Amino acid sequence: MVFFESKPKEGKALLHQDVCDVYGLTRFELADKLGVTKATLDSWSDESRMSKSTKLALELMMENYYKTKLLSNLAENISAILALNTNNDCDTNVKDDWQMLVERMKYVLKEIGINVIVASEKLGETSFEQLDAILKLKSFPSFSFLESFSKVFAVSNEWLKTGIGQPFSVRHIDSYSLRELSSECKNFEKLYIIHSSDNKPHTKIVAEYQAGKFDIFKMDFCIGDNFIMSGSESNDLFELYKFYRENEHKISLVSLEREEYDKIISREHYAGNILKSSKYSYMLYDLFDLDYYNKEKYGNFFVECTNIIKSIKESEEKRAQKEKEC
């Protein structure tokens, strides 16, 4: 199949001249490629003067030129389409990231339980216009705004911007031992000793270091049926007893349903509202009282933990008495 047909420019078409024009060749150069003299090429006033093989060669040269041009145009068009799609993908990714950021901001406000007006006031805004526009995807938040949002609502700035980690994972307790924590207590507004009502996971300490801002102390305490009370677990339990007695005025004893306990420990949820609706732990109160009160209700672990605390307490008192006598 021949894709090219010579088109007359003015008057009769000259196939060999068309070839010269599209390839940018002189007649001498074309004659050399065809293996003829320039005088022979000049004598071709029409195609009937050429040999069949020469005419076919010229037609193939024209066909090849237009095919190459067609493919080049096609490649350019494909590149343009791909570039357009890439830009659209980038725009889509930016929009998706923006929407996810806003969803995380909404999640924080929902967890804490405040509306846009109250949140704007806490952020120090003169009105709720900016936050409202951000949450409605009508305005981009600045980095300084996101930093302020993280600090005011005590959420991880990395989580807020990227979704990596947990929202309520900001660390504010510096202590690694209960002795250190006792010294740090002056910085806290309130402390909570919490446990699950099924007494299966560890008992934990939660600190409210500013109004509405919480952190979880790293140490675990074994109070329940699932634990083997070796030396370190027993000593930690006794240290928890002493910590409670020394800071009783600042501490609330809290029993949580397992689901609510897990929410606090996960740092995915706001501890303030969970603790606000929690129940007082009579089990911990009775345990730290050391009188075995309601031991039938709580079970064997309660008696074992009470015995551990009393035994270490008596040993320490005897040691202190000996040192005093010496």
Other Cβ atoms closer than 10 A to 110 = 11
- Which pLDDT score is estimated for 325? 77
For 106, what's the count of Cα atoms within 13 Å in the CB-facing half-sphere? 12
What mean pLDDT, rounded, does the chain reach? 88
Query: What residue segments make up the domains of the chain, in order of their start?
Result: 15-79, 95-162, 178-325
- The span from the CA of 183 to the CA of 139, in Å, is 45
Residue bearing the bigger pLDDT, 320 or 151: 151
Enter the DSSP assignment of 129.
H
- Residue 290 sits at the vertex; the CA angle it makes with 286 and 292, to the nearest 5 degrees, is 65
Cα 218 to Cα 121, 201, 207: the distances in Å are 33, 14, 11
Residue 274 pLDDT exceeds 50: yes
Residue bearing the bigger pLDDT, 262 or 33: 262
- Confirm if 195 and 220 have CB atoms less than 8 A apart: no
- pLDDT tens digits for range 215-244: 999 999 999 988 999 999 999 999 999 999
Residue bearing the bigger pLDDT, 205 or 45: 205
Q: Which residues contact 218 (CB under 8 A, 6 or more apart)?
A: 173, 176
Residue 188 pLDDT exceeds 90: yes
Residue 3 pLDDT exceeds 60: no
- Which pLDDT score is estimated for 84? 65
Q: Please give the average per-residue pLDDT across 242-256, as a whole number.
A: 96
Q: Please give the average per-residue pLDDT across 301-319, as a whole number.
A: 94
Residue 47 pLDDT exceeds 80: no
Residue 76 pLDDT exceeds 80: no
Map tokens 């981009």 to a residue.
140
> 142 — phi, psi (to 5°)?
-75, 165
- Which pLDDT score is estimated for 87? 57
Identify the band that residue 288 occupies on the pLDDT scale cut at 50, 70 and 90: very high
- Which pLDDT score is estimated for 89? 53
- pLDDT tens digits for range 78-129: 766 666 665 555 555 667 888 999 999 999 999 999 999 999 999 999 999 9
pTM above 0.85, yes or no: no
**95-162 classified as CATH 3.50.50.60:** no
- pLDDT tens digits for range 127-186: 999 999 999 999 999 999 999 999 999 999 999 999 999 999 999 899 999 999 999 998
Give the percent of the chain with pLDDT over 70: 90
**178-325 classified as CATH 3.40.1530:** yes
